[in-house]
Chains A and B, each alone.
Chain A
Amino acid sequence: MAEILLSLVVVIPLAASVILFLSAGRLSGFLIGAIACGAISLSAIFSAILAGLLHSQLSPSLHVFFWEWMRTADFSTGIGFTLDPLSLVMILIVTWVGLLIHLYATRYMAGDPGLARFFGCMTLFVASMLLLVLSSDLLCMFIGWEGVGLCSYLLIGFWYTEPANLAAARKAFIITRVGDAAMLCGLLLLATEASSLQVDTLLQTVTAAKISQSALTFSTLLILVGTLAKSAQLPFQSWLPDAMAGPTPTSALIHAATMVTAGIYLIARLHVLFTATPLVLTIMAVVGTLTLFLAACNALVQSDLKRILAWSTVSQLGYMFLALGTGLWQVALFHLMTHAFFKALLFLCAGAIITRVHHEQDIFRMGGLFRTMPGIALAFLAGATSLAGFPLLTAGFYSKELILSSVWNASFFLAPDLILSGHVFWVVALAGAFLTSLYISRCFLLVFMGKAKTHESGQTPLLMAIPLGCLSFLALFGGMMEMPDALAHVHLFTEMVDPAHALPSADEPLWLLLVGGGIPVLGALLAWIFWGQRNPVLHETSDEPAPPQTSQPVPILAACLLPLFRIPSWLGRYDFPARLSKGVSILINGMNTFALQFRACIFMNVSHQTLMTLRQGNLLMAYTQNGRVRWYAAWIAGGLCASLALAGLT
């Protein structure tokens, strides 16, 4: 029973996508939406039932094996599913958040000529994502891993008549593909060493220390590169902001809630491998920390609403990698869940706003929208406060607080006698939290407060409003299941995900909690000083950063605080990693041109020389056959003499 349900969870969205692709535009818009939403909701209901079954059953996990994929003498891989608390949490997030986004999309995309293609890709994405999550074998997981990348490509380039969208789609696919290639190498190394890619077998092999340390380090490092590319971490960060070219539901589902977090899930699943390689954990933490800070700086200087959210996603994923780097994967998973709620909410709000204001995405051309769309504004506020981590009231607070406190207590391995204290990372993460609050408050104030700068029309339909309401609820209260010890002793989430290992209860000082809770409020206050007043201190347009207007005096307080904005915004504007990758791409291009020309030269030369030699030889031969009898006679005579001489001499 449970086995059938488990396979149906994946098969139903897959079947829906096949139907939608094969229908080739023969179905009506309503039917298309109904099929897609129906499939996802069935999937969601089944996963909820499975959650109940798993909870009531004594066994902690459920295995289904379908068929053997490839088997050779010293390696075998099969297609099968495993459901354990970890994958259960993921499929619940994917199906339920996915369902809300699908509902929203039926209205958002209504009337688009490519509706069947859109929902076909979306359901295919959900199927691949579920396959990725449920696979019990890493190679089978890789099918889903590439499948979600493919769907992401198709959906970013959904409006294909715009060349920029296509470029963004291609960029996203190729950059993640670089990571996938690294990951494939990691899988090959693991497969050779452990002769299986079955997750359970791998974990046993590693705990029994049957794999050499160097092989393990290399393979985890390669897998890490794959996950970094998929999650748009440094140095692969540049594809995600461009990926916002896709329809907004896509951005919400793929580029915020699920696909980009696939790497986090994978590392959590393989956490035994990673804890055995402390150096890789440190690398992970460093990359995560750098990313969370730099991406927050980037978000601070964007003027496009969706790009702000995209950079914010990159930054929040950095938090998750930092949390994974401490070795506490449950913490990362908790943040993954709350992030899925509030970021999907923010994107859906953004989509609703953008349709209402006639496809204007520049926050500097919006303003005063609170009066005209209070419902959306409140939903956005719920998402924004949760993202910033406003204390007590929001889900984001609990998950971010958990990350901060575990980073404070962690220590990072560099070399046998060199251990890095977690306090350094904690400071940067705190700065990141401050910037997060600053940029999202800036966004909120510019869009919803101040003077109205744009015409707004229409109403948000009910089908779009309901998902916003549900997600707002989750973004606010979804984090209550895990609380710091200082507030209440609630650890529902970590106990559910990993009943065997409870989080180490650290006796953290209370001031840590206070600082963690206070920083977001501070950031919001600062944002209010800069942008919230009748005459904002900072006037920026999307085109150029204008200096503070000299006509009116800047308040002393604001002038003192200005560097808090200036320094990170300079960092964001300068965008060091992007320049680096641009340099690399210029270098590659140059090398490519040179090599092509070099090749052309050589080939031209060789073929030309061959031709010339042949032609010369031909002329020479022709010269002997000139049709003059006296020449022939002379040749005969000469040859005779020569052979006679040869015979006589020898």
Chain B
Amino acid sequence: MNALPALVCVPLAGASIIWLTDRLPATRRSGPWAITLMTLTLELLLLLWASFQGTSHQGPWLNHFSIPWVPPLGIVFRLDMDGLSLSMLWLTILLSLACVLLTTRHIRDSSGTFHALLLATISGTVGTFLATDLFLFFFFWELMLVPVFFLLCGWGHENRYRAAIKFFLFTQGSGLLMLLSILGLVIINFQETGILTFDYFVLANTPLSPLLSMLLMLGFFIPFAVKLPVVPVHVWLPDTHTQAPTAGSVILAGILLKTGGYGMIRFNLMLFPEAVERFAPYATLLGLIGILYGAWLACAQSDIKRLIAYSSISHLGFVMLGIFSVSPVGLQGAIIQMLAHGLSTGGLFIIAGAIQDRLHTRDIVTIGGLWESMPRLSSVGLFFAIASLGIPGLGNFAGEFLVLFATWSVSPFIAILATGGLILASVYSLKLVNGVFLAPSSSRAEPVSDFHAGQMSILGILMTLLVILGLYPQPIMTFSLPSPATITTSNSGKNAS
């Protein structure tokens, strides 16, 4: 028995069940929601099982699955799991559970389609984190994007079409580059060795000239950079996050952006180490620009969701900085930062969505004084805001510190400038707190309802995770380092389950 294919397939199965039951006229309105919840619970159990299942083989890879898919082209349905994938999967499942529990229940119009699309996205993300066949990886990469496009179009806010087109153009256009790069790598490998394969572990050993490896590396880098996002190609993100429905924003910011960071670690760093080494100074610079530019623009926003979106750009600049410091410390920092950012920004988007549902506005200037009417929502919002400004003791600080520490040994100057991002982070976070939760309360006609105990306990879990990540990140640091591509699972291919 192997949990990996089930992890990928269960959400897809859930999506098809929802799609089927949606045809039946007799289903209850909250039926799709309940099915989604069950699917995700099942997924959680599967993940628990996958985490604690004893590994059958030695080595850093925890689990492995493969069956042939398109034998003539050497395409294999191959999934491998190491600590990095596992921690990303936990983030994915926990955050999507929280998101479904908190934000999607009230969706009225064509709730079935919405949830089916959501599950499809989750399935694509899980696949992306597991696939070790490049073709399969590309398949999941696309599977993840298309449903998001429809989610945006169908359930977004006032300016959704423009945002959706922007999102689609950027991600799809850059995805094409990745496809080219994958094909290039496969063909070169075929010419060199005579074996046609898309296998990650085989392709990792392809001999490449410096120029070619740089070109192929860039082919992978650009789509990941778009996804992360890195500054010159970030323009889709603020619009998309702002216009997406709450669940979409949470999934996008909390999980989908992490596929960019994951891809950079798994594919850029592991497949083309020398090219990355040469490219690192430029990438570091891009990361630094991202940190400062994102934070600076976040300070100038007056739309809650837009502010959070720009703060994401700033936080993920740290991820970029950590990855391209090309050191284990930086990598650990980047991973911690990704997890912490997923939790804190996901939480902030949940809060922003809750505010929008209640007050029908996202404008910081008109909202104010929520503490009086909604003390619980406000205190949770305050917690996530100070987490995102990097208070030591919470997850973001641990990540940022490790990244800065790694960067310092590369270039103290860049590290000092990146620390400036922390000052700006306090400026925009306090703008959010001062403007939305504190401030004199604006006069509102209708009374608003605060979070109830159930919602609070879900958010409490997210907050506890952030505290644990901040105060005791050591297990995750040692556990989640990516396994090198040169060490394959034992006798890869032969022991197909």
Residues of A within 8 A of B (CB): 21, 24-25, 67-75, 79, 139, 142-143, 145-147, 150, 153, 157, 160-163, 166, 169-170, 173-174, 177-178, 180-181, 184-185, 188-189, 191-192, 592, 595-596, 603
Contacts and interface: CB of A to CB of B under 8 A. Distances in A.
A216 to B, nearest CB: 14
Contacts of A160: 369, 371, 438-440
Interface in B366-400: 369, 371, 375-376, 379, 386, 391-393, 398
Q: Is the interface of B mostly helix, strand, loop or mixed?
A: helix
A157 B401 contact: no
A70 B406 CA distance: 13
B405 A161 contact: no
Contacts of A147: 391-393
A146 B391 contact: yes
Given A69-B473, A161-B369, 9 more contacts: A70-B473, A73-B328, A147-B392, A157-B434, A157-B438, A173-B430, A189-B408, A191-B408, A192-B408
A173 B401 CA distance: 20
A192 B472 contact: no
Given A71-B474, A174-B430, A189-B412, A139 B401 contact: yes
Contacts of B386: 150
Contact of A181 (B405, B420, B441, B473): B420
A188 B408 CA distance: 7
B415 interface: yes
B415 A185 contact: yes
Contact of B416 (A71, A161, A185, A191): A185
B441 A161 contact: yes
15 contacts: A69-B471, A69-B473, A71-B477, A75-B329, A139-B401, A146-B392, A147-B392, A147-B393, A160-B438, A161-B440, A166-B434, A174-B430, A184-B404, A188-B405, A592-B296
Contacts of A189: 408, 412
Contacts of B427: 174
A514 B395 CA distance: 56
Contacts, number: 107
A69 to B, nearest CB: 7
Contact of B438 (A68, A166, A184): A166
Contacts of B391: 146-147, 150
B16 interface: no
Contact of B402 (A72, A173, A177): A72
Given A170-B434, A189-B412, A68 B423 contact: no
Q: Residue among A68, A184, A592 with the most chain B CB within 10 A?
A: A184
A462 B176 CA distance: 77
A70 B337 CA distance: 14
Interface of B: 235, 296, 300, 328-329, 332, 369, 371, 375-376, 379, 386, 391-393, 398, 401-402, 404-405, 408-409, 412, 415-416, 419-420, 422-423, 426-427, 430, 434, 438-441, 471-474, 477
- Going nearest first, the 4 A-B pairs with the smallest beta carbon separation are A160-B438, A143-B392, A72-B329, A177-B426
A592 B369 CA distance: 28
Contact of B375 (A24, A75, A178): A24
A192 B409 contact: yes
A139 B402 CA distance: 12
A70 B379 contact: no
Contact of B419 (A67, A184, A592): A184
Nearest to A596: B300
Contacts of B329: 72-75
A18 to B, nearest CB: 11
B405 A174 contact: no
Nearest to A160: B438
A70 B402 contact: yes
A162 B477 CA distance: 44
A629 B300 CA distance: 57
Given A147-B391, A157-B434, A160-B369, A70 B423 contact: no
A17 B391 CA distance: 18
A147 B404 CA distance: 20
Contacts of A166: 434, 438-439
B472 A185 contact: no
Contacts of B412: 188-189
